[in-house]
Amino acid sequence: MSSAQNDVVVIGGGAAGLMCAIEAGKRGRKVVVLEHAERLGKKILISGGGRCNFTNLQVRAENYLSAQPDFCKSALARYPSGDFIELVEKHGIAYHEKKLGQLFCDRSSKEIVEMLEEECRRANVEVKVGCRVTSVRKNDRFQMESNQGSWTSQSLVIATGGLSFPKLGASDFGYRVARDFGLKLVESRPGLVPLEFSSEPAFSELSGISIDVGVSCGRQTFRENILFTHRGLSGPAILQISSYWKPGEEIEIDLLPEMPAEHFFAGAGNKTLTALLSLHLPRRFVQYATAFLGPDKPVAQYPKAELLALAQRLHRWKLAPSGTEGYAKAEVTLGGIHPEELSSKTMESRSVPGLYFVGEVVDVTGWLGGFNFQWAWASGHAAGQFA
């Protein structure tokens, strides 16, 4: 068991916590990272199918959800994706752009974790794994009790993430610390998560089918694939829109996002609805879709009014999700520490000097595609300049 005094204690050895520790260590601060898991960066390791979608080339504040939409601008501007790319290149990690600005390691996400571990060593950051913090309090300094001893520090950084991926040890620890110090939180819920549809049991029969569509909820639309599952819908477009969807709301799916209805029906002649749809959509889905689209007869036999109604259903297929697959399948957690409680420049609590929150535990949630990692790097970097 140990008892140690440090300038900075970082609780959480994920992306944001390690970045913060590295930057604070570079300033000559005595830093220790306390990670409850048996190794660092477990969420980094599984991300991107094991290749880590570590950032995006097109990061903007519009790619994030937050109670204060402008809160993320300061940190993202001071540590843009190009800065992290430079770090990756410095360590000789090969990478590629997959699509839409998404950058992945060519080989393995282990390289990102190893890079961060090496940067910690260079910055003289001490790392303790398997270290479960049981209590946090503050007198003149922060005092932490853990299964590996007691720790005190001038600055305390909470980088414990959200509730997603409980199998990796996710917990509400960061939220509890915030509440104990009187900070306000935005209610948390799963984000980037598959949606369930109890009213559409036939979806299970379509499991495995993927379709390129437009998916909308309110004013937000994403154009990517959806994937039918045994429990409902997944795929990039669904994961994206799930962060905007709330219980009781409908989503709309445009089954022919690049084809106005008048073009779709023009020249159909004696083709039946099923035959025409099968030119553009998977046949197994078409067989299901005729149940809500209309009778399977030659398109020429449809009156104009019916064709207009059919076009409406094709471009605005309305569905009411019954829920999500929850934190177990969610890639991120929406909500967290309310941004008004923190300085957007330093990530420090406005009411508790020396207390910082970074990464997913803060109410800043990015889109799918490397945006959440970039927030982790940027917010951790920001706090590391001051902690």
Do 128 and 34 contact (CB within 8 A), yes or no? yes
Residue of 262 and 251 predicted with greater confidence:
251
Q: What is the CATH number of the domain that holds 208?
A: 2.40.30.10
Residues 199, 66 within the same domain: no
Residues 87, 167 within the same domain: yes
| Spatial distance between the Cα atoms of 226 and 253, rounded to a whole number of angstroms | 10
Residues 204, 340 within the same domain: no
Residues 86, 46 within the same domain: yes
108-137 per-position pLDDT tens digit: 999 999 999 999 999 999 999 999 999 999
Residues 155, 204 within the same domain: no
175-199 per-position pLDDT tens digit: 999 999 999 999 999 999 999 998 8
Which DSSP string corresponds to 282-332? Answer: -HHHHHHHHHHH---SBGGGS-HHHHHHHHHHHH-EEE---EE--TTT-SE
How many domains in the chain? Answer: 2
Domain that holds residue 314: 195-324
Residues 12, 136 within the same domain: yes
Domain end marker among 280, 305, 324:
324
Residues 344, 280 within the same domain: no
CA torsion, points 105, 107, 110, 115, in degrees to nearest 10? -60
| Spatial distance between the Cα atoms of 42 and 36, rounded to a whole number of angstroms | 11
- Residue 266's pLDDT is 82
Residues 150, 261 within the same domain: no
Residues 123, 254 within the same domain: no
Q: What is the CATH number of the domain that holds 47?
A: 3.50.50.60
Query: Half-sphere exposure of residue 26, counting CA atoms within 13 Å on the CB side?
Result: 13
Using a cut of 0.75, tell me whether the model's pTM lies above it. Answer: yes
Residues 340, 367 within the same domain: yes
Please classify residue 135 by burial: count the beta carbons closer than 10 Å to its beta carbon, then call 0-12 exposed, 13-18 middle and 19+ buried: exposed
Residues 206, 174 within the same domain: no
Residues 19, 154 within the same domain: yes
| Spatial distance between the Cα atoms of 160 and 362, rounded to a whole number of angstroms | 10
